[in-house]
Amino acid sequence: MSILLTKNVENMGKKKIIRIIAPVDFSFIWHIKFRETYQNESSSGIKFIIDLVNTTTLSISALGMILLLKDHTDLIKGELTLINPNFKQPFNLLKIANFDMKLRIVFDEEPKITYKHDEQILNNIPQSVIFQHEHCL
């Protein structure tokens, strides 16, 4: 499990995919490094993927950073997808902040239900949330 914010760049033919793997504690302390992952990317059509698989804590500051990336992505006519948000705190915060209405959220697989509260959340997931990783690439 990575505790650092990392960036992987893939070239898929004419498409460039930038995968940002968010840290365990995705908060304001990462704002400079997070901005550096995308600020020099200006090619039209770039796909940004923020992978939250390791993230157990997502702060309000992190939501703001994601929105700034969304603004940048819209400016260059790119695309932004969040994948694998932890079904506990990060996903709940994204849902409360209506991020499922602003951008795509994708899971590699359907979240496992471990508590009755999880079942209630899962029953209220909107159609915009996708449970197949292949759809995000």
| pTM of the predicted structure, to 2 decimals | 0.76
- Quick one: pLDDT at residue 15? 77
d(CA 15, CA 99): 25
Write out pLDDT tens, residues 116-136: 455 555 555 555 555 443 444
Mean pLDDT for 45-68 is: 91
Band (pLDDT 50/70/90 cuts) for residue 1 is: very low
- Quick one: pLDDT at residue 133? 39
Q: Hey, what CATH topology would domain 6-110+123-130 get?
A: Transcription Regulator spoIIAA (3.30.750)
Q: Where are the domains of the chain?
A: 6-110+123-130
User: Is the separation of the CB atoms in 39 and 18 below 8 Å?
Assistant: no
* CA neighbours closer than 13 Å in the CB half-sphere of residue 14: 2
Write out pLDDT tens, residues 70-103: 999 999 999 999 988 876 788 888 988 999 888 9
- Quick one: pLDDT at residue 137? 39
- Quick one: pLDDT at residue 121? 52
d(CA 89, CA 74): 27
d(CA 128, CA 50): 17
- Quick one: pLDDT at residue 4? 73
Torsion of CA 94, 95, 101, 107, to 10 degrees: 70
